[in-house]
Amino acid sequence: MTTNPDVDRYVERSEQWPDEIAALRPVLLGCGLTEQLKWSKPCYGHDGSNIAIVQEMKDFLALMFFKGALLADPDGALREQGPNSRSARRMEFTSVDDVRASAGTIEAYVAEAIAVEEAGLEVPAAEVVLVDELRDRLDDDPALKEAFETLTPGRQREYNLHVGGAKQAATRVARVDRCVERILAGKGLRDR
């Protein structure tokens, strides 16, 4: 069970959930996962694949399984990340006692998540039904359409949700205009 010094420093700086993270780490490391900081959060992996990440929320500490939608969840412990999340599912903790009481479930879910990775399973991509303004712009600009189609399904969905989130058609058109450069550069909406 080897801890990562970067994660040690992360826990030391945590003001919200340091004790809960400290209780969660040995459970995850005991499952044979390796830890590192990714996206500035403690991330746990197996043979180069991301399995779960720790997320400090205002009201709870989350252990988010990247392919949680593929886990059986017999204990009903997994929650959806949000209305637009398809694959990620999370467990939520509000105390060290919560973490300790869930240790067996965490171990079982980690074992299943590793099996999902080893089997090469993927969450099926949902078909993106593009909002009219984005679809029309792509139809009018073959280079933009080609660039959009090379983006990952998640990035395509993110652009579609961003554009479609505007109430007025003029705002949706303006959002498409602002995204063109990023799409042509092969970047997602939030990529740097």
Q: Which of 26-40, 81-95, 106-120 is least confident?
A: 81-95
Convert the pLDDT of each residue in 55-64 to its tens digit: 999 999 999 9
For residue 115, CA distances in Å to 28, 57, 66, 192 come to 15, 28, 13, 33
Burial of 120 (0-12, 13-18, 19+ CB in 10 A): exposed
Give the separation between CA 33 and CA 114, rounded to whole angstroms: 9
Q: What is the average pLDDT across 21-45?
A: 97
Q: What is the pLDDT of residue 124?
A: 82
Which sequence spans correspond to the domains of the chain? 5-118, 132-184
- What is the pLDDT confidence band of residue 1, given thresholds at 50, 70 and 90? confident
Give the separation between CA 16 and CA 181, rounded to whole angstroms: 38
Residue 163 host element (H or E): helix 153-164
Second CATH level (architecture) for the domain 5-118? Alpha-Beta Complex (3.90)
Q: What is the average pLDDT across 84-96?
A: 91
pLDDT > 70 fraction of the chain, expressed in percent and rounded: 100
Q: Which of 134, 142, 147 is nearest to 177 (CA)?
A: 134
Q: What is the pLDDT of residue 153?
A: 84
Convert the pLDDT of each residue in 151-192 to its tens digit: 988 899 899 999 999 999 999 999 999 999 999 999 999 888
Supply 95's token pair. 């105390």
Question: Is residue 126 scored above 90 in pLDDT?
Answer: no
Question: Is residue 130 scored above 90 in pLDDT?
Answer: yes
Give the separation between CA 22 and CA 4, rounded to whole angstroms: 12
In the predicted model, what is the mean pLDDT of the chain? 94
Q: What is the average pLDDT across 33-57?
A: 97
Residue 88, CA atoms < 13 Å, CB-side half-sphere: 16
